[in-house]
Structure 1
Amino acid sequence: MTELISILDGNTFLVSDHRGDVEPSLDFPTGLFAFDTRFLSTWLLLIDGERLQALSADHAGCHQTRYFLVPGEPTHLLDAKVSVIRSRVVSGDLTEDLTVLNHSGQEMSFTVRMEMGSDFADIFEIKNTKSKKGHNTATPGENSLRLTYRRDAFHRETTIRSSSDAQVDRRGMTFPIRIGPHGEWTVRLTVDTVIYGARGQDVRALLPLASNRTAAGIEAEHAEFVDRAPKLSCDCQPLAGAYRRSLVDLASLRYESITLGVRLLAAGLPWFMTLFGRDSIFTALQVLPFVPDLIPPTLTMLAGLQGHRVDDFRDEEPGKILHELRYGETAGFEEQPHSPYYGSADSTALFVILLDEYERWTGDVELVKRLEFATRAALTWIDTYGDLLGTGYVWYQTRNPKTGLENQCWKDSWDAICYSDGRLPSFPRATCELQGYAYDAKLRGARMARLHWNDPAYAERLEREAAELKERFNRDFWLPDKEYYALALDSDGTPVDALSSNIGHLLWSGIVDESRARQVADHLLGPRLFSGWGVRTLADDQGRYNPIGYHVGTVWPFDNSIIAWGLWKYGLRDEAGRICNSMLQASHYFAGRLPEVFAGYERDLTDYPVEYPTACSPQAWSAGTPMLLLRVMLGLEPQGEHLIIDPHVPPGMGRVELLDIPGRWGLVDALGRSRDE
């Protein structure tokens, strides 16, 4: 696959090939996107009818880049008389400055052509290669081309304007140009996108930050976000690079919701540039000690969209926290259930966990009181709709067999939940980590009820239920002959015996008996699961193991950060440090930006982490991974009005110093050194 380059500004992003071109024929979502619609599907530069060849690309920032190009086929001896620079910025919309340079001592003539087009495809239409049902038009104007799409009240528009005289047709613009000796010619192409609302205006114009979507405004806003975070000083260059990269990516992944106008974190580019329940919550947990102001809008939005009825199409149930919110055509016309969709069995318990963790760090009791009703509803869902079979466990089975997700845990691909021999279990399924999340949510709900809701009876009930769940879980999910926890129970209660990374989430939740924590850790760091770069999603001796299978053998950075946190909670600090160290070493090969997922090949086999071909990058919970690893290595834990600092820095990492950690204690500094220093 051709190398793809992405630039983004929260609401809007562009994915192109290494030349800056966009072609609809590529098997990946290239184009200019905003709120789940592709506004440019063709953006192709030709000089005298020829494609250009890339010399290099300069990523000046997340929202801008430059491409250096020459015409003709590449040769061993490059003696180009002309070169081209494409400088582009995404700041709400797209601006591209195209410069053609004449390097010869003679006047030269060229025909510059930019092919332009938009299919206005919904992100789900691209993934599923479905055709449009509305009407496209292309209207040439004076140095402008207007592309429109209508389907009933759904109306989107792209307008492209040229700063120079152009010959405009329905498929693009042509510029016949003459350039003097050692001279240059420049044109600015501006691409404006419109999402029409009911009153005929661009709905984004009403968003609070709409007036600040300029290149300078974006740069200032991103710089302020990075400067507000704690300052890291360390001897480990991979850690320093990953931390800085994470802050920059998180700044860029923030977007404004059309519906409520609040600032949220998108889950990842290119497929997941929207709010996800599970992804957003895990990311919030990772970044909480660093940028806590990101958390209240996420919690408030999730609570506001909490399920309140039974809706089979959307997998909605009272008290359930959403899985995914979309703004595109297929959601609007209910061809997809994502308006919002509730097909995740874990986001509801995770919502409760995040609210409590946020208050423990910040002391924001007001938010805990304001979200009391939503939190109680979430806890009720765990014991009612979540317990499909009435066994005291959280199960899942989609209500919508046509378009609903089969697997509604974080490993939600169709083959992710399997027996050790590769067979797939029946539905409903109860994966092990769901029970851990439910256990933790009950204990955290009890804490909030006792301290902030003035309901000790409710607190006692939740604590009793948590204790009973822990006892029952350790009886039913433990596999004595294998000495690890089952991945799941199938519909008749039979353990699904695959060895998977899910058992690491159990350590994080606290549901594991102390006497079994060491055995769980030995499996996680053993050769079957641990690749040397991280813990695989599935052990390499299992029937469905595939080192490049999405959830059946790959390594997920976010998954490893939660596992490291879990190991730390059980006092297994050396083991947690091994995961921290391996993740940070892997980040070095990705220029500090951990991708969504990478291959699970053994480290000795490749000497570097192998890229997964369609991984999202940047991905929010991968960007949050270095931050959570930093928390684990420094041993940061809130306790009352104080922050406990108990560092355990892995060997060879040297000094790690984090300044101005925010919380209910004000600002605190933390320092740790590896013990071999």
Structure 2
Amino acid sequence: MKELISILDGNTFLVSDRHGNIEPALDFPTGLFSFDTRFLSTWLLLLDGERLHALSMDDSESHRTRYFLVPGEPTHFLDAKVSVIRSRAISGSVEEELTVLNHSGQPMTFTVRMEMDADFADLFEIKDTQRKRGQHTAIPGENTLRLDYRREAFHRETVISSNTSAQVDPSGMTFSIQIGPHGEWTTRLTVSTMIYGARGEDVRNRLPFSGNRTTAVIQAEHAEFIAKAPKLSCDHQPLSRAYRRSLDDLAALRYESIALGVRLLATGLPWFMTLFGRDSIITSLQVLPFQPELIPPTLTMLAGLQGHRLDDFRDEEPGKILHELRYGETAGFEEQPHSPYYGAADSTPLFVILLDEYERWTGDEALVKRLELSVRGALDWIDTYGDLLGTGYLWYQTRNPKTGLENQCWKDSWDAISYADSRLPSFPRATCEQQGYAYDAKLRGARMARLFWNDPEYADRLEREAAELKERFNRDFWLPEKEYYALALDADGTPVDALSSNIGHLLWSGIVDESRARRIADHLLGPRLFSGWGVRTLADDQGRYNPIGYHVGTVWPFDNSIIAWGLWRYGFREQAGQICESILAASRYFDGRLPEAFAGYERDLTEYPVQYPTACSPQAWSAGTPLMLLRVILGLEPQGEHLIIDPHVPRGIGRVELLDIPGRWGHADALGRSRNRNRNDAAG
């Protein structure tokens, strides 16, 4: 069982098992991590040579946790004469307080042993058996163990110290202790991580929010973040709990970029504690009505790292917005192309969409003017490098067949794009939702050009191109015999005919002809795609369907939030509410924290949502999902200097009240109530 222990603004995080131990694992990366490097790979507590077993655990706060442990097998717990408390907090460094309690009436002696090691593995190496190329050293000192790794200029170090006397060796610390009757013994272990730069100092020292801050400072920052968010009062406990948990997780997922020293949202723990183009943009769209101040740093960072050259290794092209930014060893030595990597075809139009949506909410025209060249570059990329075949569609094919991503859409696993009969299409590929994003980006680019850049001719051109794209798309992607849009086009222009959740993104973008929207809504809520817990990524009668396949049958909360928004946009309020209800119902089984994905089994079959085995949790766009669902439920939409509130609350949710919604209007309040069988009105 994996157990998330703590996070501090995304910069440093620790993952352990349910006993508080860290051991090298192939199936899940336990350890202490900072900026893509594992600084602890072993942290194993032994009492008289035995492992301990957990009685209970308190992990209610994101930055600290506590374990209550006893020796022996579970059947012997009641006879335990000794117990151990592990109290752990993370605040730049990690502090763990070990307390051993003697419950007998006699003095007792114990040997407390902490096994320690750091493999300094890059996240890309966690599942790789390749040996590290640099040099490891372990240097015991007085109550201190220094673990060091060097490879040319790449230098990382872990320093572990104890505030009590210890026997230190290259693989850990040993404490020989004696405790009086009903007495206790305590030591504090401190684990510091070092990321050395060219000048021999920790590069994080120059970041404004990094460093060894106190728990009180972290709690104050966390509380301030939550206090800025709108206040939710509602009758529906799952919604209330999910909203609070989402705010907690979003506060914890903030991290600082070494590149610019700005605070961003990391994408998800443990694999994605960094900036992603697509994920960060969609999370920003979700949180915009609640925490708009998070958006400018993300847009500015993405614009600053926008592609400016042709680089096959990194899939970089002029105007393209990055996919992923990494700081680890494999990126630094160009064994992976993630410094940054540009292998996504959708992050570029989504960048344009986010900037326009942000201005519509906040009225921040200064940012729109400042990023004009970046937006123009992004729109140019859609029509040039993005249109690989010159057909007017957005295509993708990696320039780097060795380490580049094959699929460069949000479903980026190797088998995610397939025909209904399970065959895989040729490259390049043009997935349907990316055409919708391109359509929306052109319309939003036209709005910004007309209102803020004083370029009506450019605006007219973009609107004309958007209209042509919509007409062309509805001709080439529509499958008349199946009455839904193809998942993609292959290199020959043949429709890839699988039925997938991607068609819900088309509703959100507005590219769907009004005459066809009803059929799309029917498919999304039909038994092939809708599990009862949400819309599956792939319909259950398709050749590659697998309810526990990463992108071929699981339910993704963020995907469903986009689908709900799309249904709302086309006026399918009941169907949007059905999505909201199903996802919120699922959140109850995850303690309010929606995971990256969960299995696509029928709700009637399992009666609870089945966990996906390696889902990230917390993950930013899953944490953002309850916020997006609240926007849909309350019908929140900016209109000039006003916020339109048009609630349609699903049955069973009752009263929903959201106070102090920030925007260009100042602050607004929204109220909605569930409709019942005898009334067709809603309060708002």
Q: What TM-score do you get using the length of structure 1 for normalisation?
A: 0.99
> Is the 8 Å Cα contact of residues 249 and 623 (structure 2) preserved in structure 1?
yes
Amino acid at match of 1:98: L
> Is the 8 Å Cα contact of residues 5 and 59 (structure 2) preserved in structure 1?
no
> Is the 8 Å Cα contact of residues 26 and 127 (structure 2) preserved in structure 1?
no
Amino acid at match of 1:302: L
1:5 is aligned to 4
Secondary structure at the residue paired with 1:75?
helix
Amino acid at match of 1:87: S
2:356 is aligned to 356
Q: Distance in 2 between matches of 1:129 and 1:30?
A: 16
Amino acid at match of 1:6: I
Aligned residues: percent identity?
82
| 1:461-512 deviation per Cα after TM superposition (whole angstroms, max 9, x unaligned) | 0000000000000000000000000000000000000000000000000000
| 1:337-361 deviation per Cα after TM superposition (whole angstroms, max 9, x unaligned) | 0000000000000000000000000
Amino acid at match of 2:617: S
1:489 is aligned to 489
Secondary structure at the residue paired with 1:244?
helix
Correspondences of 1:395-544 after superposition (within 5 Å) = 395-544=395-544
Once the two structures are TM-superposed, the CA of residue 90 in structure 1 deviates from its matched residue by: 0.9
Correspondences of 1:131-280 after superposition (within 5 Å) = 131-211=131-211, 213-280=213-280
Q: Distance in 1 between matches of 2:326 and 2:23?
A: 24
Once the two structures are TM-superposed, the CA of residue 128 in structure 1 deviates from its matched residue by: 3.2
Q: Distance in 2 between matches of 1:109 and 1:93?
A: 31
2:101 is aligned to 101
Q: 1:77 to 1:208 in 2, by over 3 A?
A: closer
Structure 1, 20-29 or 154-163: larger mean CA deviation: 20-29
1:123 is aligned to 123
> Is the 8 Å Cα contact of residues 197 and 203 (structure 1) preserved in structure 2?
yes
Amino acid at match of 2:87: S
Q: Distance in 2 between matches of 1:503 and 1:211?
A: 45
Amino acid at match of 2:522: D
Correspondences of 1:560-575 after superposition (within 5 Å) = 560-575=560-575
> Is the 8 Å Cα contact of residues 267 and 274 (structure 1) preserved in structure 2?
yes
Structure 1, 382-391 or 65-74: larger mean CA deviation: 65-74
Once the two structures are TM-superposed, the CA of residue 210 in structure 1 deviates from its matched residue by: 2.5
1:111 is aligned to 111
1:71 is aligned to 71
Q: 1:180 to 1:259 in 2, by over 3 A?
A: same
| 1:566-594 deviation per Cα after TM superposition (whole angstroms, max 9, x unaligned) | 00000000000000000000001100000
Secondary structure at the residue paired with 1:124?
helix
Q: Distance in 1 between matches of 2:509 and 2:251?
A: 29
Q: 1:113 to 1:26 in 2, by over 3 A?
A: farther
Q: Distance in 1 between matches of 2:558 and 2:298?
A: 18
Secondary structure at the residue paired with 2:126?
helix
Once the two structures are TM-superposed, the CA of residue 76 in structure 1 deviates from its matched residue by: 6.0
Q: 1:440 to 1:57 in 2, by over 3 A?
A: same
Structure 1, 206-215 or 330-339: larger mean CA deviation: 206-215
Once the two structures are TM-superposed, the CA of residue 26 in structure 1 deviates from its matched residue by: 4.9
Q: Distance in 2 between matches of 1:128 and 1:349?
A: 34
Q: 1:76 to 1:212 in 2, by over 3 A?
A: closer
Amino acid at match of 1:422: S
Q: Distance in 1 between matches of 2:215 and 2:492?
A: 58
Amino acid at match of 1:393: Y
| 1:127-160 deviation per Cα after TM superposition (whole angstroms, max 9, x unaligned) | 3333210000000000000000000000000000
Q: 1:649 to 1:191 in 2, by over 3 A?
A: same
1:596 is aligned to 596
Unmatched segments (≥5 aa) in structure 1: none
Correspondences of 1:384-403 after superposition (within 5 Å) = 384-403=384-403
Amino acid at match of 2:587: S
2:682 is aligned to none
1:51 is aligned to 51
Secondary structure at the residue paired with 1:210?
coil
Structure 1, 321-330 or 77-86: larger mean CA deviation: 77-86
> Is the 8 Å Cα contact of residues 212 and 218 (structure 1) preserved in structure 2?
no
1:634 is aligned to 634
Q: Distance in 2 between matches of 1:257 and 1:58?
A: 30
Q: CA RMSD in A?
A: 0.8
Q: How many residues align?
A: 676
| 1:313-344 deviation per Cα after TM superposition (whole angstroms, max 9, x unaligned) | 00000000000000000000000000000000
Q: Distance in 2 between matches of 1:3 and 1:352?
A: 38
Once the two structures are TM-superposed, the CA of residue 27 in structure 1 deviates from its matched residue by: 2.3
> Is the 8 Å Cα contact of residues 60 and 66 (structure 1) preserved in structure 2?
no
1:305 is aligned to 305
Once the two structures are TM-superposed, the CA of residue 79 in structure 1 deviates from its matched residue by: 1.3
Structure 1, 5-14 or 230-239: larger mean CA deviation: 5-14
Secondary structure at the residue paired with 1:127?
coil
Q: 1:418 to 1:375 in 2, by over 3 A?
A: same
Q: Distance in 1 between matches of 2:419 and 2:48?
A: 59
Once the two structures are TM-superposed, the CA of residue 77 in structure 1 deviates from its matched residue by: 5.9
Q: Distance in 2 between matches of 1:207 and 1:12?
A: 14
1:85 aligns with 2:85: yes
| 1:402-426 deviation per Cα after TM superposition (whole angstroms, max 9, x unaligned) | 0000000000000000000000000
Q: Distance in 1 between matches of 2:352 and 2:172?
A: 52
Q: Distance in 2 between matches of 1:21 and 1:652?
A: 42
Once the two structures are TM-superposed, the CA of residue 60 in structure 1 deviates from its matched residue by: 3.6
Secondary structure at the residue paired with 1:668?
strand
